[in-house]
Amino acid sequence: MSPPELDIQNLKVSFATPKGKLTAVNGSSFHLNQGETLALVGESGCGKTVSALSILRLLPEPPAEISSGKILFAGQNLLSLKAKALQDLRGRSISMIFQDPMTSLNPVLTIGEQMAETLLRHTTMNRQEALQKSANLLSRVELPSPKEKLKHYPHQLSGGMRQRVMIAMALACSPKVLIADEPTTALDVLIQAQILELLENLKKETGMSIIIITHDLGVVAEIAQRVLVMYAGEIVESGPARALLDNPLHPYTKGLIASVPKLGALNKSRARLEEIPGNVPSLDQRPSGCAFHPRCAWAIEKCTTQKPQLRDAEAHRQWSCHLEPGSL
Amino acid sequence: MNTENGLPLLEVRDLKKHFVKQNKFLEEQAPPVRAVDGISFTLQAGETLGLVGESGCGKSTAARTLLRLIEPTSGQVNFFGTNLFDLKETEMRSLRKKMQIIFQDPYSSVNPARRVGNILQEPFEIHGTQNKKENEEKAIQLLEDVGLTSGHFNQYPHELSGGQLQRVGIARAIALNPKLVVADEPVSALDVSIQAQIINLLLDLKEKQDISYLFISHDMRVVEYFCDRVAVMYLGKIVELADSKQIYNSPQHPYTMALLNAIPSVESGRIKQKASIKGDIPDPTHPQRGCAFHSRCPIKEKQCEEEIPALKEIAPGHHVACFLKH
């Protein structure tokens, strides 16, 4: 098996706040295989976005601090790179697309100007060539009349079109890794289906690897091969997408899947939805022991004091829970 | 329970809301945006009607117009037989006790400078008694009804999580025992594990307090679970209206089919077609001729580009606005 595209080891990220130092990602380790789509799943504040932003070193430091860990990419540790080297990397080898395409595009520059910027920075193209290439990229993401769109400003495009522009921009230098942070959350369901299909097709064409951050398990089922479930800054379960969704191990993963209404359920019965009681803990109120224990129906004495470690459950699957697999 | 002479709780007839752009000096008058363009439906007491569609289809405008939070362009809304648009502002105000709304974003729908207890006493101060002690007790009872505790009484909104604050929004809406609650995307802004809590709470309250919901959402999974009947809106018009079962088991309008097909499914084994609908919702400021959906419709015919299809009943209780299904 070829080595992983990205290897994240024991990443720990904290933020200096008036309430003291808060840990957003607490020593997580994961890897991204070549040509794979990996989903990071979890609720707000679980550390999924912070993990992804750390890979590209996009967090403002301070207040953020990456206090330990390694991020290995193409034989180098991204955490020890200088600012200049990071700039060469961003947008060329690793690109990112964000949730809200309106706020991540520059409203006072035309689409053409912002797209050409990436190409001018990373390649030897001149302006004319960069614009030509931008038009090609826009047609690759199936945006109608791409030449004209280059002259448009972001506000003249719909949300779906803007997200296509973001994707085209991210693909400009044929990156090895694309990080997509909730790429369809701000979009309507029909547009979401189009964007997911587009990402799939582009992955097949280019062979890139994708990290997709989402809270929507439906999106995971649609696009991801492997899933990491995060809770309160830690990975609580990981495994192949289909196996994990069909047969979740961790109580939190079970709860998440059960709390989404199933299509066609009306035909059977309209029982109450299964809910996870309580609230998502905020960073300054992280429970002791296993962070999930106050909301967990299976919690035992040990869970309140001792933090479970991520361990193998079965082939390719890991979880962090004191209970035995299959005992839930 | 048709307590009031067997009249439907809500009867909406040809409701329209057109927004006109203020024209500047010597500027040509732009055509109005037909946000809600002649919708009709009824809601029986005890029933839950879902209003679904993509952003910009007019579902929220429809809800706000029928509560007269914004004034309609034309049409009729009968609430137990009383046309709301005939009422004076003072009469409308006292009727608002019976019709309430829950908003999508709990943080922007409460006053951040007031304590939770004060927020919940306000409905009683306006519509009920001025007795402070009594109002406090009622507010605490409300907190308990929605799964919070009296400990939240003195807290400020920013001290609560999104789910807790949405419970406050729900408590405020049910304070005066309304008959109708409009829930405008009440769970869209919440975390997945919290959404189920709020949906269960809304169902419990419906049982206990005999509330009817108009439930606005873009999440087809939640709507199937929550609603008895569903109206699908597209560009200001209802394109399909039927029982949940009919909508989900045998959708007739090509737009409804596309919406259902586009839902990413968690379960394995669901057969999915590739995205059948291309492109975006057309610009509502430049209305096109014919059926509003024809530019994205995979099965359109010549007629669809020329004429606007009416909403017709094709099976008992199943209404569709599509020439190919009439």
Chain B residues with CB under 8 Å of A44 CB are 162, 191
| Tokens linked to A88 | 């060469």
Chain A residues with CB under 8 Å of B55 CB are 159, 188
Chain A, residues 35-64, CB within 8 A of chain B, namely: 43-44
Tell whether A46 is covered by a domain. yes
CATH classification of the domain holding A153: 3.40.50.300
ipTM, interface predicted TM-score of the complex: 0.81
Q: State whether residue A177 is helix, strand or coil.
A: strand
The answer to whether A41 and A63 have CB atoms below 8 angstroms apart is no
The answer to whether B43 and B212 have CB atoms below 8 angstroms apart is yes
Could you tell me the residue range of the domain that residue A216 belongs to? 6-264+272-291+307-319
Tell whether A302 is covered by a domain. no
Mean pLDDT across the stretch A211-235?
Answer: 92
Chain A touched by B95 (CB under 8 Å): no
Q: How confident is the model at residue A122 (pLDDT cuts 50, 70, 90)?
A: confident
Nearest CA-CA distance, residue A157 and chain B, Å = 10
Instruction: Put the strands of the sheet holding B10-19 in their side by side order.
Output: B33-43, B10-19, B74-79, B82-83
CA gap B30, A159 in Å, rounded: 23
Domain count, chain A: 1
Q: What percent of chain B clears pLDDT 70, i.e. is strictly above it?
A: 94
- Spatial CB neighbours of A157, under 8 Å, sequence gap ≥ 6: A111, A149, A165
Chain A residues with CB under 8 Å of B164 CB are 279
CB within 8 Å: A280 and B193 = yes
Structure-model confidence comparison of residues B116 and B6, the more confident one = B116
Q: Which of A92-106, A161-175, B26-40, B139-153 has the highest mean pLDDT?
A: B139-153
Q: State whether residue A81 is helix, strand or coil.
A: coil
The answer to whether A270 and B222 have CB atoms below 8 angstroms apart is no
Q: How confident is the model at residue A162 (pLDDT cuts 50, 70, 90)?
A: confident
Structure-model confidence comparison of residues B285 and A309, the more confident one = A309
CA atoms within 13 Å, Cβ hemisphere of A191: 21
Kindly report which listed range (A285-294, B256-265, B271-280, B284-293) carries the lowest average pLDDT score.
Answer: B271-280
Q: Which of B57, B104, B158, B191 to mutate to test the interface with A (most CBs of A within 10 A)?
A: B191
Tell whether A300 is covered by a domain. no
Chain A touched by B91 (CB under 8 Å): no
Q: Look up the pTM and report it.
A: 0.85
Q: What is the mean pLDDT of chain A?
A: 87
CB within 8 Å: A222 and B277 = no
Tell whether A58 is covered by a domain. yes
Q: What is the mean pLDDT of chain B?
A: 88
Nearest to A266 among B163, B224, B259 (CB): B224
The answer to whether residue B40 scores a pLDDT higher than 90 is yes
Helix (H) or strand (E) run with residue A94 in it: strand A94-97
Mean pLDDT across the stretch A130-149?
Answer: 86
Predicted pLDDT of residue B271: 55
Q: How confident is the model at residue B1 (pLDDT cuts 50, 70, 90)?
A: very low
Q: State whether residue A114 is helix, strand or coil.
A: helix
B170-181: pLDDT as tens digits: 999 999 999 999
Chain B residues with CB under 8 Å of A264 CB are 224, 248
B75-127: pLDDT as tens digits: 999 999 999 999 998 999 889 999 999 998 888 889 999 999 999 999 998 88
Tell whether A73 is covered by a domain. yes
CB within 8 Å: A194 and B275 = yes
Predicted pLDDT of residue A156: 86
Q: Which of B266, B268, B270 to mutate to test the interface with A (most CBs of A within 10 A)?
A: B266
The answer to whether residue B207 scores a pLDDT higher than 80 is yes
Tell whether A327 is covered by a domain. no
CB within 8 Å: A259 and B191 = no
Nearest CA-CA distance, residue A78 and chain B, Å = 32
Mean pLDDT across the stretch A262-270?
Answer: 63
Q: Which of B39, B33, B59, B37 is nearest to B287 (CA)?
A: B33
Structure-model confidence comparison of residues B179 and A280, the more confident one = B179
Tell whether A324 is covered by a domain. no
Predicted pLDDT of residue B274: 59
Written as one letter, the residue type at A81 is: L
Mean pLDDT across the stretch A252-281?
Answer: 79
Q: Which of B1, B145, B10, B123 is nearest to B68 (CA)?
A: B10
Tell whether A328 is covered by a domain. no
Neighbouring CB atoms inside 10 A of A299's CB total 18
Predicted pLDDT of residue B30: 74
Chain A residues with CB under 8 Å of B270 CB are 263
Chain A, residues 195-214, CB within 8 A of chain B, namely: 196-197
Predicted pLDDT of residue B62: 93
Chain A touched by B273 (CB under 8 Å): no
Predicted pLDDT of residue B276: 66
